[in-house]
Structures are given as C-alpha cells and as structure tokens.
Amino acid sequence: MNRKLYLILCIILSVLLTKQVSAQKAAIANTNMISVNADNFREGFLKSNHTYVIKTPVNLKSNTVRLPQNVTLKFEPGGYLLNGTVVGNNTGIVAPDRLIFKRNITISGTWNIAKATSDWFDCAKNGYSIDYKTFLAYDFNGTKDFGYKYNGKLYRAGTSPNVNWTDDTYPLNQLLNLKAKHTVITKGIYMVRPIENTLNEQTFTMQDYALRLRNADNCTLEINGTLKMIVATQSTYYLLIIYNSKNFTLTGTGKLEGDIYEHAGTTGEWGFLFHGAGLVDFKHSNLTYEGAWGDGVFISYGRIKMSTAESYNYNHHHKNLTINLCRRNGLVYELGDNVVIENCQFDGHKSRRGTPTYAGIDIEPFWKGAVPIFNCKNINVKNSTFKNYMFGPAVRYERVMGGTIEGNTFSWNAHDISVGQCYPEFEKNPLQTAVTPKRDFIEIFNNRSDSSAYFLVTSDLNPNKVKAYNNKIYDCSGYIFSQGNFMLFEFYNNTIVNAPELGITLTGDVIKMNNNSFKNVIKFFGMDKKTFINSNYKFDKSKVAPKVFEFKNNKVL
C-alpha cells in the first residue's frame, strides 16, 4: 500500500470514528433530556446532570421542589412553572425571552445562568411615569402650592394620579434571585414597592419590598425599563439595594423614579432610589434617576450589621448618568475611595422643595465623631454639567483627601463648588483593606461657570488645600469666593468676567493669586480695585489676613 492511499484510509477512518462518537454523545444527551409535566416534576423523579424539557404548564400545587445538582431546565413554547417554590442547585435555564415563571412562583437556591430577563417573569409593566419638569408651584383655587402634571392633568403634590397599576416588586425579585451573570430588566414601567425604615438582615429575605442583591460578584444588572417607586409613607426608604459585591456593573437605558411628587410627608431626607455599600470595582453608567425624596444615588457604609471592611467602597466609575430633581442630593458618598464621576448631567430643578444639603454631588464621609474617622480619598468629578442647584452647592467636598473637579459646566447654582476640611493626612489604613497615597490638594481646573451666585465656598472653620486654575467664570451674581480658610490656596490662570465682588474673606497661611484676568469685577474683598492693589493687601473684611499673600501678573480691567 503506498503512502498516499494509507493517508486517505486514515482520514476516512478518523471521520467515521468522529461521527460514531458524536452519535453516541447525542444518544446520551437524548437519554438525559427528559420531558416533564405536573405529575413528575418532583423530587425523587428528577436526577442530577439531566436536562428537563417543560412544554406545558407545570403546576407545583404550592409545593417546594428542590432540584438535584447541575440540572438544566429547558422551556419550550407553552411551557412554564406556576404556584410553588423552585430551589436551584447550580441549575441552568434554556429559554426564549418570554414568560416561563408565573407570578406565584418563588425562586431560591443557586443558579448557573449567563443571562436572565424580566420577560421570563409575570410582570405587568403597567405603571406610570411623571415628567419632573412639570413639578412646579401652581395656583390651586387661589392658593399657591407645588403640583405636577400627568397626561395633561394637574395634581397637587402629595396626591397620586388615577391610574390602575400592578405591583411588580415580587416577580422582579425572583428575577434577581437567579443571580445571573447578566440580568436584564426590559422596557416598560414597573411599579416597585420600597422597603421602609431601617435595613437589617431580613431585608435580603423579603420579596415584596425593594429590589435587592447581595454577594453578586462579577454580575451585571441592566435596567432598560422604568422602575417607578410606589408611594411611601415613612421618611426612610429604598428602591434598589446592592451590597457586598465585587466587579459589579449597573447600567442600562432605563430610569429609577421616586415619589417626590406624591409623597404625603413633609419631613425626612432618606428616601433613596439606589443604595449601595461594600462595592469594589463598581461600574455604573447610562441610567437616569429622578424625583427622589432623598438622594438619587447613595453610596455608604452598610445600613445593616456589617464589618467596616465589608462596607468598604473602592474603585467606582460613574459615567453618563442623568440625575434630576432629588430632594436632598443627586449622588452621595459617605464612604468611598478612588471614585470617578464623568460625563454626567445634574439638574436640581430650582423650584423644588428640598432638605440640606441640596447638592448635585455630596461627598460627606460619615460623621466626624466616628472611630476611626472616615475620609474619602481620590474623588474625581469631570466633564459633567450642574444646573439649578439654587439652595446649595452643585459639588460639595468634605474631608476629601485628594481629588479633582475638572472640565465641568456650572450654571444657575447657589454655589458651584464647596470644600471643607480638605487637606492632606497620612493614610491611617483604618479599614485594613487598601492604602491610598497621600494627596496634597483638591484641584479645580478647566471648569466654566455661568450665572451662579458663588463659584467657590469654603468653611471659615475648616482649613483646606486647594488649587484652582484655568477656570472661566462669567456673570457671577455674588462672590467668586465666600469665606476662605486655607492652609494653602493657589488661584492662577483663571478668567473672571462680571462679578460684584471677588470675595468676602480670604484667610489662612499661604494665598497665591497670580496670572488671572479680571474684567468688570467691582470690588476686591471690600475695596475697589485701585485701593486693593495699592493697599498692601490688608483686607478690610478679613478676620485674619493671610500670613503670605501674592497677587502678581494679574490683568485687572
């Protein structure tokens, strides 16, 4: 036999052997793929490592079915589960994007699913959404009060529109119980009942209140619909809660909408749309948050019993978010390091009712009396817009150890930027989790401000280290600086056009204001520009003049 013929025979034998092995595998697969119905979908009949095909409705008759290990449930047209509890055990699902779980199904246990969708669950998606721009002061029979419009009809604040809707909280929580690597909430308006009062361990077992995830490492939640909060009656409540998760992504084209329009109470500040804690390597993008009674996004230490390390938030990236009309703040950090907030849109909606601190972004490490003292480190806000924060700062940094505010656009705010007690400390590493480098400054640069009352407000009690450069400030109605107690302040290469006064006070250790351009700035710290420039910088309005002050190479027109 020549070599060529030998090679041809080897190839033919190899092909035949491959087909035989494939046929054997197919036979085994067919043996392990079993159709089930209401009679045999039960413990004792189901075996590990099998695929069970569901072609018809399977009524569990209020029973609990604990699946054996490594089972796959394959749903075909007309097949779904109802009326009972299914406990997964590394269970897979093969199904199209249609109903496979009726409303009275409970999901628990462990599941192994690449992608799950809300279309699998019996969600009504028949809620309503209110345009936040209609939340204004209106005349109600001669009395001015806040109200809103829905479908062209005016409603007084504290009342709800006459809409028949269905609570989708329970089926959505069953979706989250699958803990798929990629969970999608599809388009539609879902009514979600918030959980009220203080959070505890029971929070994560309740199915009828709030959407919640915990220990969801390497998972993505994609929200493309609207999660509309059902009206709450308390002052503390939450819509979406995500705790103790690493490499978690929260994204989508959808919206989380609060109850500010309909909330019957008049006090309190803790009605939050999204609450996160213990998130490491967290990515957050593209979503819209509107109408929160408290904060749109609230990142903090855990509100349940958690160790400090479990509460730690580190390496967060917020991008392309839209946050409108939140009664307290748009986005808040009580605990977090290495945070980037970029390309986001914040609208305080100036006519709203509110509660302090009225900010777009509020970095407020948990209270000063905490032991150990909390500081937030390396916080960066860039390329975002902030408008209509008429009662507080657009961006507030308190006890922030290093960070930037860069490339942002501010307009019609009471304060564009507020800093307090922002100066370097050596990292004490109280969390025993990560050590961040010592940072010397809050840097404020390449921003533009139009028609705000103040550009930079600092506490006269808390020292700061700040650099502000390459900013353009137009039509300020108050002061460029309101108060100022600086360990070190460098203000250079800025352009200021049209302001009644540069500042009220400027105190501290070293102040350098060089290479700036001032046009139509009427007064400099209580003095006209000529007196100020020739006065050796003795500030009439300052409590204590700076120890070192420079004012060089400035264009004062």
Query: Is 100 a domain residue?
Result: yes
Indicate if 16 and 40 belong to the same structural domain: no
Phi, then psi, of 215 in degrees rounded to 5: 55, 50
Considering the domain architecture, whether residues 104 and 94 belong to the same structural domain is answered as: yes
Task: Say if residue 92 is in the same domain as residue 39.
Answer: yes
Residue 69, domain member (yes or no): yes
Mean pLDDT of the chain: 87
pLDDT-above-70 percentage for the chain: 84
Same domain, 24 and 98: no
pLDDT interval class at 236 (50, 70, 90)? confident
Domain count, the chain: 2
Q: Which of 114, 149, 180 marks a domain boundary?
A: 114
Same domain, 110 and 36: yes
- Burial tier of 134 (Cβ tally within 10 Å: 0-12, 13-18, 19+): middle
**For the chain, first and last CA: distance in Å?**
102
Q: What residues make up the domain containing 90? A: 32-114
**In this structure, is residue 81 part of a structural domain?**
yes
Helices (H), 89-168: none
Binned at pLDDT 50, 70 and 90, residue 454 comes out as: very high
pLDDT exceeds cutoff 90 at 537: no
| Residue bearing tokens 């007196």 | 531
70: how many CB neighbours lie within 10 A of its CB? 15
Among 36-45, 118-127, 136-145, 471-480, the range of highest mean pLDDT = 118-127
End-of-domain residue from the set 85, 114, 143? 114
Tens digits of residue pLDDT in 57-78: 999 999 999 999 999 999 999 9
Q: Work out the number of other CB atoms within 10 angstroms of the CB of residue 457.
A: 23
Is position 302 within any domain? no
DSSP bridge pairs for 496:
473, 518
Residue 242 pLDDT > 50, yes or no?
Answer: yes
pLDDT band per the 50, 70, 90 thresholds, residue 307: low
Instruction: Please give the pLDDT value at position 463.
Output: 65
* Under 8 Å between Cβ of 483 and 505: yes
The pLDDT, as a whole number, for residue 1 is 55
Residues 45 and 104 in one domain: yes
Asked whether residue 1 falls in the same domain as residue 74, the answer is: no
Could you tell me if 42 and 20 lie in one domain? no
Identify whether residues 49 and 77 lie together within a single domain. yes
Strand order in the sheet with 143-150: 136-140, 143-150, 153-156
CA separation for the pair 180, 52 (Å, rounded): 19
pLDDT digits (tens, 9 = 90+) for 312-322: 899 999 999 99
* pLDDT tens, position by position, 326-363: 999 999 999 899 999 999 999 999 756 677 888 999 99
| Residue of higher predicted confidence among 323 and 308 | 323
Query: Do both 45 and 86 map to the same domain?
Result: yes
Residues 91 and 23 in one domain: no
Is 56 domain-assigned? yes
- With respect to residue 356, please indicate whether it lies within any of the assigned structural domains: no
pLDDT score at 482: 76
Any domain includes 159: no
The pTM of the full predicted model, rounded to 2 decimals, is: 0.90
Whether pLDDT at 231 is above 90? yes
Q: Do 25 and 81 have their domain in common?
A: no
**DSSP string computed for 424-468:** ------TTSS--PPP---EEEES-EEES-SEEEEE-SSS-EEEEE
In a domain, 83, yes or no: yes
